[in-house]
């Protein structure tokens, strides 16, 4: 009798573990599909950039029959000043990120610690983010032309600074919120001004967060398309997205060269993302989800 109960409970346990095992397999399959969904398109673009031009025109196979070639990459670098585009993007993104970080750091500190601007200011900042950029493009285009900054990297970086400001405030505010106030109070007692406290005490403590926020703003400026399209029209100041968008023209698409061109801009981004991934994740989730 007792034996039977024991064996019964054993089978129940076995069945339970079996079910858990089955459940885990389904979960595993779903998560693998998600990974494939993310990676296959990027992988396919990479493969396409290495296929023979003739085979690209005829088949979309994931594994080419006629082998690999660097022809597309060579042609891309020859036909388009892509290095110049990348250089322009780096310049624009660096200037705009540097400026936006200083402004956003001061603003988010002031809002979080002293409640400056009341509940209205954060709402207004959110509002500027919600507003579609196309609505103000008309005004910004005329202003940039009046200032003589059309087709100029300085002009574009100013605009990118304005665009990224709400996001930067948000990302940094998340880090300041989690910082205990005691240290700052001690600094004030020691005679530090509020300004000095921010840059000498607070900034070093949230440095990783500020760096990852800066990386995010840099990448957003790097990716920005609408204003880059409107405000730049020669290789002198064209950024990477606009430059590379010319591969998709009215007369059909050169897929091999387009893939190579796009990858030239994507691969550095992926390297940066992998280097900063853990702090970037903390910054994004910390800003979006209030604790």
Site for other proteins in 232-261 (CB under 8 A): 240-241, 244-245, 247-248, 253, 255, 258-259
Q: Please, which residue, 7 or 145, has the CB nearer to other proteins?
A: 145
Q: Please, which residue, 203 or 273, has the CB nearer to other proteins?
A: 273
Residues binding other proteins: what is the number (CB under 8 A)? 94
Whether the CA torsion 95, 99, 104, 105 is positive or negative: it is positive
Token pair, residue 265, equals: 């801009």
8 Å CB contact between 238 and 88: yes
Long-range contacts of 140-148 (CB under 8 A, 24+ apart): 140/227, 140/230, 140/231, 141/230, 141/231, 144/231
Q: Please, which residue, 7 or 281, has the CB nearer to other proteins?
A: 281
Could you say which of 5, 30, 120, 189 contacts other proteins (CB under 8 A)? 30
d(CA 168, CA 163): 10
Asked whether position 75 contacts other proteins by CB under 8 A, the answer is: no
The CA-based diameter of the chain, rounded to the nearest angstrom, is 95
- Cβ at position 1, least distance to other proteins in Å: 27
- Cβ at position 139, least distance to other proteins in Å: 4
Asked whether position 210 contacts other proteins by CB under 8 A, the answer is: no
Q: Please, which residue, 134 or 203, has the CB nearer to other proteins?
A: 134
- Cβ at position 70, least distance to other proteins in Å: 18
Long-range contacts of 73-76 (CB under 8 A, 24+ apart): 73/49, 73/260, 75/256, 75/257, 75/260, 76/257, 76/260, 76/261, 76/264
User: Among candidates 286, 287, 288, 264, which has minimal Cα distance to 86?
Assistant: 264
Asked whether position 114 contacts other proteins by CB under 8 A, the answer is: yes
Asked whether position 62 contacts other proteins by CB under 8 A, the answer is: yes
Asked whether position 209 contacts other proteins by CB under 8 A, the answer is: no
Asked whether position 58 contacts other proteins by CB under 8 A, the answer is: yes
Asked whether position 265 contacts other proteins by CB under 8 A, the answer is: yes
Q: Please, which residue, 7 or 193, has the CB nearer to other proteins?
A: 193
The neighbour count for residue 205, using CB atoms within 10 Å, is: 15
Rule CB under 8 A: which of 142-161 touch other proteins? 142, 161
8 Å CB contact between 213 and 207: no
Asked whether position 70 contacts other proteins by CB under 8 A, the answer is: no
Asked whether position 38 contacts other proteins by CB under 8 A, the answer is: yes
């Amino acid at each position: 009798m007792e034996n039977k109960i024991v064996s019964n409970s054993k089978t129940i346990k076995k069945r339970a573990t079996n079910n858990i095992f089955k459940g885990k397999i389904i979960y595993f399959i779903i998560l693998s599909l998600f990974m494939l969904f993310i990676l296959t398109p990027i992988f396919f673009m990479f493969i396409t950039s290495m296929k023979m031009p003739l085979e690209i025109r005829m088949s979309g196979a994931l594994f080419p029959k006629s082998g690999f070639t660097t022809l597309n990459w060579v042609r891309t670098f020859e036909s388009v000043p892509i290095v110049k585009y990348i250089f322009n993007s780096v310049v624009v993104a660096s200037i705009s990120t540097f400026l936006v970080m200083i402004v956003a750091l001061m603003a988010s500190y002031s809002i979080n610690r002293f409640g400056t601007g009341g509940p209205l200011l954060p709402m207004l900042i959110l509002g500027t983010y919600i507003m579609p950029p196309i609505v103000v493009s008309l005004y910004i285009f005329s202003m940039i032309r009046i200032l003589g900054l059309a087709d100029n990297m300085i002009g574009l970086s100013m605009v990118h600074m304005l665009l990224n400001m709400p996001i930067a405030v948000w990302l940094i505010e998340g880090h300041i919120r989690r910082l205990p106030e005691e240290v700052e109070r001690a600094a004030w007692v020691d005679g530090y001004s509020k300004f000095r406290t921010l840059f000498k005490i607070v900034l070093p403590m949230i440095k990783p967060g500020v760096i990852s926020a800066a990386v995010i703003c840099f990448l957003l400026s790097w990716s920005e398309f609408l204003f880059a399209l409107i405000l730049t029209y020669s290789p002198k100041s064209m950024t990477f997205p606009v430059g590379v968008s010319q591969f998709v023209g009215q007369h059909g698409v050169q897929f091999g060269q387009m893939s190579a061109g796009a990858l030239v801009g994507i691969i550095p981004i992926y390297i940066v993302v992998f280097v900063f991934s853990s702090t970037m994740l903390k910054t994004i989730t910390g800003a979006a989800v209030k604790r």
